[in-house]
Structure 1
Amino acid sequence: MPRSPGRDKPADHYAHLHANFRWQVPAQFNMAEVCCRRWAATPALGRETALIAEGPNAPARHHSRAELAEAANRLSNLLRGLGVQRGDRVAIVLPQRFETAVAYMAVLQLGAVGMPLSQLFGPEALAFRLQDSEAVVAICDEATLANVLSVRAECPALRQVLGVGAAGASADIDWGTALAKVQSRFELVPTLADDPAVLIYTSGTTGNPKGALIPHRALIGNLTGFVCSQNWFGFDPWDASVKSDAVFWSPADWAWTGGLMDALLPSLYFGRPIVGYNGRFTPEVAFELMQRHGVTHSFLFPTALKAMMKAVPKPRGRYRLKLQALMSAGEAVGDAVFAYCREQLGVTVNEMFGQTEINYIVGNCSRLWPAKPGSMGKGYPGHRVAVIDDDGNECPVGVPGDVAVHRLDAHGQPDPIFFLGYWKNEVATRGKYTGDPASSWCRTGDMATRDADGYLWYQGRADDVFKSSGYRIGPSEIENCLVKHPAVANAAVVPKPDAERGALVKAYVVLAAGFDGSPSLVVELQKHVKGQLAPYEYPKEIEFIDALPMTTTGKVQRRVLRLREEELALKSSRS
C-alpha cells in the first residue's frame, strides 16, 4: 500500500496516494489461497478465529482458520469425487453461516467457479440462473433446498444437490456425513489471476439478469477500496507493525457482491474475524450484534442506516459500540444519515460506489482525505475514474454524465478490478465499453457530476433521471430531503407522466412509526422540500406506501414504480 509522506499527517493524502500507487498482480493467484490456506499453514495463526457464526436460535460459535481450511479441503475432495472440474459452476445457495465460507473456499481452491444465489430467490429466479449457468452441483440448507428441488427437473446440468444441516436428509448428499468420509488434505489447483472465480448474476432491475464472470485478480482490485472505505481496517497506514484489532460484520448477503467482495473475502484476506448472522435484519439486532462481538468495522446499506436512525436515534445511550469505520453503498446516503453516523455512531460514514462488474471503484476514506456529506467520493487509488458523455469524452465540472472506469490506471497499467465479461453474452459485454477494446472506458450506467475538487455526486441510474418542465431531476436529492422529516422512514421519487410538463415529480413515502398519512401531512412534506431545494424539485404528488419495492441487494426499484405510473397514465388516457 502507498506510504505516508511523513508522520505529520496533513488533512488530505488523496493526491499522494493516487499518484504513487502501483498494482502488483502475480501471474498465478487464487482467492482461497490468500483468504484461507496461507493463514492455516501456520499452527499459531490457524488457531485464530476466522468466522463467528450466530443465529436467532443458535448461540455464537467461533470457527478457527484451521477449521475453515480443513472443512474446505474435505469439501474440495468431495466435489472432485462428484466429477466437478476446473471451470465448472457450483451453485452456493446459502445464507450467512460457516458452511457458506467453507463452500467458497472449497470451490475456489478446486479451480471451479462459485455461483452465489440468494436465499431470497423463488423458484423462477433460481431456475433461470441454474439453467443459464449450467451449474453441475448446488449446495443448499433447510431454507433454500425446497425451492432448488422444485426446479431441478428444469436444470438438466444439475447432477447433485448437497444438503447442509437439516437439509441433508432430503438432499442427494448429506453435507456432514459425506465430509466425514473424505480426506482432510487437498492440494490447491493452480489458477491464473485471469481465471474465472465467481459468477454473480446482476439484480436484473432491467431485463433478464446477466451473469458477470469475476476473475481471481478482482479481489486484488477490491483491496484499495476496502481498506480506504474501512479507514485502513484497524491497521495504521504509517506503522505496519501495528496489529489490527478489527472485527467485521455486515448484513449484506454473501450471495451478492456487497456481501462477498466487500465483506467476507476481504475480511478473510486480512485475517480478521467476520460475524455471520443467519437471521433477519432489524435495527435492534444490528446494534446488539455490534455490541456483543465488539464490531469495529461494518458495511451498512443506506436503507439499513435509515431504519437504524429512525428506530434508535441515540444508540450510544443504549449500546456500547466500538465502531472505527463504516462504509455504505447501494444508494446515496444523504446528509441526514451522514450526520446521524457522525454524531450518534461516532464515525464518519465512508460512501462507496461500485457494481458487480467493476466493484469498489469510487469512495471516501475519512481517515486519509476529507469526506463531503452526500458525495460518492473520488476514484480509489489504482482506478482511473471519470464522468463521461455519450461519446466517451470527460464531462466538465458540474455537468452530469456516466461514471466510468478506464481499463488502464493512471500509470498506463491494466486495472485488475474488471470482470471477464457477461456469461454467454458477448454483445452485452461489448456494449459495456466505449472506445478501443484494449484501452477503453467501462460504463457503469450510473449518472453523477464532478465538482472542482474531484468529488463525484450521485444523480441516479441513467434510467432513473428524468426531466420535468425542462429541468433535469435526480431523485436522490429529493429522497434525501424527504427522509430528513421525522414522519418519513424512506422515500422513492419517480416521474409521473404529464401532458404539459412531460412529467411531474412524484414521491412514494414510507411513514415512520407513529405517523399517519393525511392531506395535511402531504402539504407539510411538500413545504419541507420547497424550503430546502429548488422550486421545481418538490413532489407535486405524494403517495403513502407500506414498503418500497427493493432488490435483494437492498436497492430501491424505482423502475417498478415508474412503470406503475406509466400504466396508470395509459389507463387514464383510454378512459
Structure 2
Amino acid sequence: MERSAHIDTFARDHLPPPEEWPEILDSPDTRYPARFNCAVELVDAIVARGMGERVALRWRQDGKPASMTYDALRRLSNRIAHVLTEDLQLVPGNRVLLRGPNNVMMAATWLAAIKAGLVTVPTMPLLRAKELKQSISKAEIRTVLCDARLKDEALACMDPGNEHYCAGLEKMGVFNDAAADAIDALATNKSDDYTACDTAADDVCLIAFTSGTTGAPKGCMHFHRDVLAMCDLFPRHVIAPQADDIFCGTPPLAFTFGLGGLLCFPLRVGASTVLSERLTPDLLLAEIQDFRANIVFTAPTFYRQMAALAGKYDIRCLNKSVSAGEALPDATRQLWKQATGIEMIDGIGGTEMIHVFVSSPPDQVRQGAIGRVVPGYVARVVGDDMQPVPNGTPGRLAVKGPTGCRYLADERQRKFVQQGWNLPGDTFVQDQDGYFFYQARNDDMIISAGYNISGPEVEDALMRHEAVAECGVVGKPDDERGQLVKAFVVLKPGYEATPELAARLQDFVKATVAPYKYPREIEFMAALPRTETGKLKRYTLRQGGVSL
C-alpha cells in the first residue's frame, strides 16, 4: 500500500488482514494515480477544467428554486475544511460521525471532511442514540458533525447519565444553525482556499455501516479510489451521464446508493443534483417537473406510487430512472413504463461493494432480470463449494472487481469474502446470455421500501417491552413495499392479545430504534416454533406461523 497521509492510523490499522481481502481487479476505467483526494477530483478538478460557473447543487429555499455553482461549492467546502482542522482541531485519519438530511451543508461538510483527510461515517437521519452508539464505539469516533435539527440523539451519546453514553465522544460541530460557534458561522471568516490533504489512493475516506442478520453493525471501509471507482463504472457504462444532466431522487446521502447517485455521480461529470430533505411521491414528481430533472434515483415503492400520479405533472424532461435498494417487481417496472414510457434501469449493489455491480442500460433490459455484470466487474452463480452452477440453477452470487469488501475489524469478513470472491448474500439464477435473475436474500435481512432492516434488531427492541416474553421477526412479501416487517409475539402472563397492545408495541419499537424498522404487522402466538435444539424456525414464521 502507498504511504498513508493519516496521522491517526486507526483506519489502516483495523483493515482486515490482506489475505482476507477480495481479489481487486484492474480496469481501464479505474487506473488512478497513487495519490489523490477524491473530493478534489469531484469539485476542484471540475473548476480547474473551466466549469466553475456550472451549477452543482440545486434545492428549494423558501419555496423557490436555488442553486450553487461548482466554484461556490469549492469555496464553501474549503472554508468548512478550515473549521474542521483549525477550530475543531481534527487531523487526518480522525473519524467523524456525519449526520444530516440531503441538503447543501450535509454535502459540503462531507466534501470538506474528505478534503481534510478525515474518515467520514455518515449515518441515517432517523437513527436513535442506541444505534449511533454502535457505530461510534466500533469506529472509535470522537467528533460528530451534525445538522442542528438532528443533534439530540448524538447529544444523548455525549451524556454520561445516558445509557447510550460513549465515553470517547468529545466534540460536536453543528451546521444549519445561527449560533456563533456553528460551522456555518465559523466558516464565513475562513479563507476560500485550502490545500487538501495529500491522501493516498488507498487511504480510507468512508466507513459505511450496514447491519447484518445479528443486528451488530458492520463498517465497510472504502478508499479514495473506491469513491471514484463507483463513479467510473456503473454510471459510465449504464446511465451514461452528461454535464447537462440534472439528477434528483430520494436515497439519503448516508446510504452509498444516495451518496453515489445524488452527489458523486453528478459531480464527477460536471452535472448538477437536486437535494431535498423530505420527499413524497407527489413531491418527487413536482421536483422533476420544477427543476427539469432528467435522471431520478429511488426505490421501487416510490416508482409504483408515482406511476399512478405521473399524469398530474409535466415530466417530459425525465429520460432515465434508476431503481435499487430492493428487488424491482416486473409489475412495477411495467406500471412505470406505461405511465412514462421510460424503461427502468434496475441494479443490485451493496454497501460492501460501495455501489451497483449488476445492471443493464434501458436498451438491453431482459424481462425479469436485474441485468448483466457492469463492465469492470465479473460475477457468477456458485454452489456451496464455490464452483459455478449450471445456467438456470439457483445459487449464491459471487462477484469481484475494482471495489470489494473490507470490514472494520470484523470476523464476518471471512464469510463475505471467500477465495477472493465477494458473496453479497443473494440467491440468483444466471441465463446463457449472462443475465442475472434475483431469487431471494439468503440471510435474515428484511428489505422493505429500500431500507435494510435486521429482524433480530427489531426482536431485541420488542423484547425490551414488559409485555413480551418471546418474539420472532421476519419479512412478509408485500406488493407495495417488497417486504413488510412482521413480528410474532408471545406475551407474558397477565397481558391480553389486543389490537391496542399491538399498537403500543409498535409505538415502543418506533421510540427504541429508527421508526422505519417497526413491525407493520404483529401476530400474537401461544409459542414460537423451535427446533429440538431450541433454534427459532424462521422459515415456519415466513410461512405464517401458528396463530392463537
TM-score relative to the length of structure 2: 0.75
Cα–Cα, structure 1 residues 320 and 195, in superposed 2: closer, same or farther, change >3 Å?
same
Which letter maps to 2:286?
Answer: E
Per-residue CA deviation, residues 314-341 of structure 1 (Å, 9 max, x unaligned), is x245323311211111222122111122
Query: Is the CA contact 2:92–2:116 (under 8 Å) kept in the aligned structure 1?
Result: yes
Q: What is the CA-CA distance between 1:181 and the residue it aligns to?
A: 2.5
Stretches of structure 2 lacking an aligned partner (at least 5 in a row): 1-24, 160-164, 446-475, 489-505, 531-535, 537-544
Per-residue CA deviation, residues 438-460 of structure 1 (Å, 9 max, x unaligned), is xx111100111111211111111
Once residues 558 and 391 of structure 1 are traced to their aligned partners in structure 2, the CA distance between those partners, rounded to angstroms, is: 37
Structural mapping, 1:44-83, within 5 Å: 44-54=50-60, 57-81=62-86, 82-83=88-89
Which letter maps to 1:46?
Answer: G
1:137 corresponds to: 143
Structure 1 position 224 matched with structure 2 position 208: no
Q: What is the CA-CA distance between 1:374 and the residue it aligns to?
A: 2.5
Q: What is the CA-CA distance between 1:348 and the residue it aligns to?
A: 0.7
Once residues 210 and 362 of structure 1 are traced to their aligned partners in structure 2, the CA distance between those partners, rounded to angstroms, is: 22
Once residues 306 and 364 of structure 1 are traced to their aligned partners in structure 2, the CA distance between those partners, rounded to angstroms, is: 20
Query: Is the CA contact 1:54–1:278 (under 8 Å) kept in the aligned structure 2?
Result: no
Structure 1 position 331 matched with structure 2 position 330: no
**1:188 aligns with one of 172, 192, 196:** 196
Query: Is the CA contact 2:395–2:427 (under 8 Å) kept in the aligned structure 1?
Result: yes
Once residues 484 and 366 of structure 2 are traced to their aligned partners in structure 1, the CA distance between those partners, rounded to angstroms, is: 23
What is the aligned length? 453
Q: What is the CA-CA distance between 1:98 and the residue it aligns to?
A: 0.6
Once residues 565 and 40 of structure 1 are traced to their aligned partners in structure 2, the CA distance between those partners, rounded to angstroms, is: 62
1:157 corresponds to: 168
1:387 corresponds to: 381
Q: What is the CA-CA distance between 1:53 and the residue it aligns to?
A: 2.2
1:460 corresponds to: 440
Query: Is the CA contact 2:251–2:257 (under 8 Å) kept in the aligned structure 1?
Result: yes
Aligned-partner SS, 1:210 = strand
Query: Is the CA contact 2:485–2:517 (under 8 Å) kept in the aligned structure 1?
Result: no
Structure 1 position 253 matched with structure 2 position 233: no
**1:365 aligns with one of 353, 361, 371:** 361
Once residues 559 and 385 of structure 1 are traced to their aligned partners in structure 2, the CA distance between those partners, rounded to angstroms, is: 35
Once residues 527 and 270 of structure 2 are traced to their aligned partners in structure 1, the CA distance between those partners, rounded to angstroms, is: 52
Per-residue CA deviation, residues 382-413 of structure 1 (Å, 9 max, x unaligned), is 1011111111111111111111113xxxxxxx
Structure 1 position 447 matched with structure 2 position 427: yes
Per-residue CA deviation, residues 115-157 of structure 1 (Å, 9 max, x unaligned), is 1011111111112212222223211123201111121132233
Which letter maps to 1:104?
Answer: W
Query: Is the CA contact 1:464–1:494 (under 8 Å) kept in the aligned structure 2?
Result: no
Stretches of structure 1 lacking an aligned partner (at least 5 in a row): 1-17, 235-243, 407-414, 466-477, 484-488, 498-545
Structural mapping, 1:537-552, within 5 Å: none
Cα–Cα, structure 1 residues 307 and 377, in superposed 2: closer, same or farther, change >3 Å?
same
1:293 corresponds to: 291
Query: Is the CA contact 1:329–1:351 (under 8 Å) kept in the aligned structure 2?
Result: yes
Q: What is the CA-CA distance between 1:275 and the residue it aligns to?
A: 0.2
Which letter maps to 1:455?
Answer: Y
Once residues 567 and 305 of structure 1 are traced to their aligned partners in structure 2, the CA distance between those partners, rounded to angstroms, is: 39
Structure 1 position 422 matched with structure 2 position 402: no
1:431 corresponds to: 415
Aligned-partner SS, 1:266 = helix
1:345 corresponds to: 340
Which letter maps to 2:323?
Answer: S
Alpha-carbon RMSD across the aligned residues, in angstroms, is 3.4
Q: What is the CA-CA distance between 1:59 and the residue it aligns to?
A: 3.0
Q: What is the CA-CA distance between 1:58 and the residue it aligns to?
A: 4.7
Once residues 196 and 282 of structure 1 are traced to their aligned partners in structure 2, the CA distance between those partners, rounded to angstroms, is: 35
Q: What is the CA-CA distance between 1:22 and the residue it aligns to?
A: 5.5
Which gives a bigger RCO, structure 1 or 2 (Cα 8 Å, sep 6+)? Answer: 2
Query: Is the CA contact 2:157–2:166 (under 8 Å) kept in the aligned structure 1?
Result: yes
Structure 1 position 166 matched with structure 2 position 177: yes
Once residues 95 and 394 of structure 1 are traced to their aligned partners in structure 2, the CA distance between those partners, rounded to angstroms, is: 42
Cα–Cα, structure 1 residues 382 and 183, in superposed 2: closer, same or farther, change >3 Å?
same
Once residues 573 and 218 of structure 1 are traced to their aligned partners in structure 2, the CA distance between those partners, rounded to angstroms, is: 47
Which letter maps to 2:53?
Answer: R
Structural mapping, 1:272-287, within 5 Å: 272-279=271-278, 281-287=279-285
Once residues 102 and 487 of structure 2 are traced to their aligned partners in structure 1, the CA distance between those partners, rounded to angstroms, is: 39
Once residues 188 and 157 of structure 1 are traced to their aligned partners in structure 2, the CA distance between those partners, rounded to angstroms, is: 27
Cα–Cα, structure 1 residues 23 and 97, in superposed 2: closer, same or farther, change >3 Å?
closer
Once residues 435 and 103 of structure 2 are traced to their aligned partners in structure 1, the CA distance between those partners, rounded to angstroms, is: 37
Once residues 333 and 71 of structure 2 are traced to their aligned partners in structure 1, the CA distance between those partners, rounded to angstroms, is: 39
Structural mapping, 1:397-412, within 5 Å: 397-406=391-400
Which letter maps to 1:214?
Answer: H
Q: What is the CA-CA distance between 1:175 and the residue it aligns to?
A: 1.6
Cα–Cα, structure 1 residues 348 and 159, in superposed 2: closer, same or farther, change >3 Å?
same
Which letter maps to 1:400?
Answer: P
Once residues 56 and 264 of structure 2 are traced to their aligned partners in structure 1, the CA distance between those partners, rounded to angstroms, is: 11
1:302 corresponds to: 300
Cα–Cα, structure 1 residues 556 and 120, in superposed 2: closer, same or farther, change >3 Å?
closer
Point out the more displaced range, 187-196 or 559-568: 559-568
Aligned-partner SS, 2:158 = helix
Cα–Cα, structure 1 residues 258 and 566, in superposed 2: closer, same or farther, change >3 Å?
farther
Once residues 141 and 19 of structure 1 are traced to their aligned partners in structure 2, the CA distance between those partners, rounded to angstroms, is: 39
